[in-house]
């Protein structure tokens, strides 16, 4: 099965709660597309020159986006 993600990933900074909210927004021309598959969200950091990627979340889609497109809330952000 093809696990192509027909959506864009957006990171929204929430200053009040000191977190970043990751959301999926379907492509305009893919409104009726079925979103199916298992996906991973990874991150790299400047501290090691972006050489090491760490998986911070995985999620599965079975034809529908999560409520409000939210897939993950990251409370491990740093300022600076």
Which tens digits make up the pLDDT trace of 22-75?
A: 888 777 665 555 577 788 888 888 889 999 999 988 888 787 766 677 888 888
Residue written as token pair 């990933």? 9
Instruction: Please determine, for residue 80, whether its predicted confidence score (pLDDT) is greater than 60.
Output: no
Residue 77 is predicted with a pLDDT of 73
2 domain residue, yes or no: no
1 domain residue, yes or no: no
What total of structural domains would you count in the chain? Answer: 1
80 domain residue, yes or no: no
DSSP string, 38-80: EEEEEE--GGGTT---EEEEEEEEESSPPGGGEEEEE------
**Of 20, 11, 9, which Cα lies nearest the Cα of 79?**
20
Residue 25 is predicted with a pLDDT of 79
Structural domain range at position 34: 7-74
25 domain residue, yes or no: yes
69 domain residue, yes or no: yes
Look up the pTM and report it: 0.64
């Amino acid at each position: 099965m093809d696990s192509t993600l027909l959506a864009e990933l957006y990171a929204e900074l929430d200053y009040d709660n000191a977190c970043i909210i990751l959301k999926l927004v379907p492509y305009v021309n893919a409104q009726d597309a079925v979103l199916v598959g298992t996906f991973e969200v990874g991150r790299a950091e400047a501290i090691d020159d972006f050489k090491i990627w760490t998986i911070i979340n995985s999620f599965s889609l079975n034809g529908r986006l999560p409520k409000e497109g939210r897939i993950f809330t990251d409370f491990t952000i740093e300022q600076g």
